Every structure is written in structure tokens, then in C-alpha cells.
Structure 1
Amino acid sequence: MTRISQTTRLEKVEHIVGSGSGLLDFAVKGENGYDTWEGNEDADWTVEDVDSVQNVEEDRYIMYPEGDYFICEIEADTEERNSGPVRCWCE
């Protein structure tokens, strides 16, 4: 697992695991594990072009893209309690 602690852009995101507490895990094609962004509960994040959502456990869910992959632009300045924004979409 890699912590996202600076502004970055991820391409070829196969799915996103989210939680109500503001944690987003990005599964990027060809990488082992997840790139993790930890936001606060009121963080600004949007995921568009979602094909389906599957519950994993209590407050964890997986979002799958309508297309082959999501592209995500992520603003962060620390490993924890980021406020965003995070924007993901499909091309």
C-alpha cells in the first residue's frame, strides 16, 4: 500500500475501494496493492462514470468504472486528513 501525500494523477485505475470515513484505495493496473488517499469525513471527492458498486464489508464498497479504467486527479498535502478535491472519471 502506498500513501498518497502529494497532488497526483492516477491513470488506469481498475477499481476504487471507498469508505464512509473518507478513505479511498485506488487499484492501478500493473501495481501490487493500493494507492491510498486518506481524507477527512467532509472531504471533497467525486467519482463519475461508475458502472457498479459492490459492498465489501460494513462501510467499505468497491466502485467499478463504466469504461476500462478510471482516471483520477487527487489533491493531497499530507498522508492523513486531506480535504481534496479528488475527481475520478472515465474517458
Structure 2
Amino acid sequence: MTTITTDVRLDSVEHILASGSGTLDFAVAGEDGYTTWRGTEDADWNFDDVGGVENVDEDRFIVYPDGEYFVCDVSAAGEEQNPGPVECWCE
């Protein structure tokens, strides 16, 4: 698993595993495991072009793109407590 610590654009995101505590796990095509962003509970994330949402458990859910993949611009200034923004959309 890779942790996002600086601003990055992720292409080819197959789905996003999100939690109410502010953690986002990005499943990037061709990579093993997740790429993780650790935010705050009130972090600024926005997902456009959502094809579906599936509950995983009490505090976690999976967001699927309406197209083949999401593209995500992720803002980070460290390993934890990132306020965002995180913007994801389909091209």
C-alpha cells in the first residue's frame, strides 16, 4: 500500500474505498493494493460522474465511476490529517 503525502493526479482509478473518518483508498489499474490518502473527518472531497456506491460495512463504502475510470486530483501536505481537496471525475 502506498500513502499519498504530496499533491498528485491519479489516472485510471477503478474505484475508491472511502470512510467517514476521512480515509480514501484508490484502486489504480495495474497496481497491487491501494493508494491511500488520509484526511480529516470534514475533509473536502468531491466525486463527479459516479456510477454506483456500495456499502462495505458500517463506516466504509466503495464509489464506482460512471465511465471506465476516475481521474483524481489529490491535495496532500503530509501522511495524515489532510484537509483536501480531492476531486475525482471521469474523462
Q: TM-score range by the shorter chain?
A: over 0.9
Matched, 1:29 2:29: yes
Q: Which runs of 5+ in 2 are unaligned?
A: none
Q: TM-score, normalised by structure 1?
A: 0.98
Deviation digits for residues 29-88 of structure 1 (CA, Å, limit 9, x no counterpart): 000000000001111110111110001111100000000000000000100000010000
- Aligned CA-pair RMSD: 0.4
Output the CA distance in 2 between the equivalents of 1:40 and 1:73: 17
Q: Which runs of 5+ in 1 are unaligned?
A: none
Aligned length: 91
Output the CA distance in 2 between the equivalents of 1:22 and 1:50: 18
Query: How many percent identity over aligned positions?
Result: 62
Output the CA distance in 1 between the equivalents of 2:42 and 2:57: 21
Q: Which consecutive aligned stretches of 4+ in structure 1 deviate over 3 angstroms post-superposition?
A: none
Output the CA distance in 1 between the equivalents of 2:24 and 2:53: 14
Matched, 1:55 2:85: no
Output the CA distance in 1 between the equivalents of 2:32 and 2:57: 21
Output the CA distance in 1 between the equivalents of 2:20 and 2:87: 17
Q: Secondary structure at the match of 1:5?
A: coil
Residue identity matched to 1:52: G
